[in-house]
Structure formats: C-alpha cells, structure tokens
C-alpha cells in the first residue's frame, strides 16, 4: 500500500466508513512509515489526545501512536500490534478523537502485554497498566474497525445522542460538498 503524503493528513470523524474497516498489516517499514507516524503523533498532540490509529487519519493500516502522559519522551509507535495477555478489568469513561463530544463507559483490561514493531521493523514487547493499557486497547479496537459507539449502553446512547447526530449531519454535509 502506498502511503499518502503526511502533510495532507487530518483526523477523520465518525461516521466516515474508513473507521469501520479492518486494517491491513504493515508490510513495508522505513522512512515513509516513520514520517507518517511522526505526523500522527503531531496531530494527536495538537488535538490533546492520548492515542491515534491509522484509520483515524484515513489510512486503514495496523499502526497506532500513543502517549499516556503527554510528555514528549513518552511517545510510542506500534506497528502490527497484538496482545499476548490481557488481565484485570475496569469500567471507565473514554473519549475518542474521531468521535468528538462523545464519551462512553467502557470495560477494559487493566494490564496488557503487547508485541509490536517500530517503524524500522524492529520487534518489541511491552507491558502496560491502567491508562496505558486502556489506550492500547482503544487503539487496537480501531484497527479492527470497532468504535466506542458500537457497544454503547442505553444510558450512553441517550447521553450522546445529540453529539452523534451532529457528527452524522456534519459528515453528510461535507460528503455532498
């Protein structure tokens, strides 16, 4: 897959169909992939988010970036991630840069062991707890085409109805333009 020019990337909003695609594995590593990840990190920081996945910038590939602290030294790029182990469980409210204005109570594992590759194709394994584990799971859901809105409880549906309808109306208006 040919990667787009990183300078043209923007965060894609619900209900754009790319957000529902199961992403393809990354097969080519190197400078183009690094440039893409760097731009994704810049977009994530600009939007004051904690994670951003490939489909959230319109590219259905198995790549996400994250930073649980917001500190520059804590940026992490995960290519072709997979979970080795998920343990514990906790319900917390989550938001999503692709679904602004919507927050959903979601149950996630509190500890995750993940294997992934960096942009040079070097494999690594990391263990994350609490917020970091939650972010990884949220971004991994994006790589499978799953969104927070897919499994909302009735109370979350009611609380977020107006915001979801506005996103749908905005998308319809820009799609016709």
d(CA 166, CA 62): 29
d(CA 87, CA 97): 26
Residue 140: left (phi > 0), alpha (psi -120 to 50), or beta?
Answer: alpha
Question: Minimal CA–CA distance to 138: which of 171, 168, 165, 99?
Answer: 99
Q: Which of 32, 94, 139, 168 is catalytic?
A: 139
Please indicate whether residue 85 is annotated as part of the active site.
no
Q: Are 76 and 127 in contact (CB under 8 A)?
A: no
Question: Minimal CA–CA distance to 25: which of 62, 63, 73?
Answer: 62
Alpha-carbon dihedral sign for residues 71, 18, 103, 106 = negative
Question: Per the omega criterion (within 30 degrees of 0), is the bond before 144 cis?
Answer: no
Query: For 16, phi and psi rounded to 5 degrees?
Result: -50, 130
| Residues acting as catalytic residues | 139
């Amino acid at each position: 897959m040919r990667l787009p020019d990183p300078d043209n990337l923007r965060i894609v909003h619900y209900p754009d169909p790319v957000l529902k695609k199961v992403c393809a594995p990354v097969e080519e590593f190197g400078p183009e992939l690094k440039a893409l990840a760097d731009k994704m990190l810049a977009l994530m920081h600009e939007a004051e988010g904690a994670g951003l996945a490939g489909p959230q910038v319109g590219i259905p590939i198995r790549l996400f970036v994250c930073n649980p602290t917001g500190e520059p030294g804590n940026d992490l790029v995960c290519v072709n991630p997979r979970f080795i182990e998920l343990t514990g469980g906790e319900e917390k409210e989550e938001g999503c840069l692709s679904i602004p204005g919507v927050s959903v109570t979601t149950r996630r594992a509190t500890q995750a062991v993940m294997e992934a590759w960096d942009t040079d194709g070097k494999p690594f394994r990391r263990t994350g707890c609490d917020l970091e584990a939650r972010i990884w799971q949220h971004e991994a859901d994006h790589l499978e085409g799953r969104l927070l809105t897919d499994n909302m409880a009735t109370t979350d549906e009611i609380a977020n109805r107006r915001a979801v309808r506005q996103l749908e109306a905005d998308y319809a208006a820009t799609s016709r333009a």
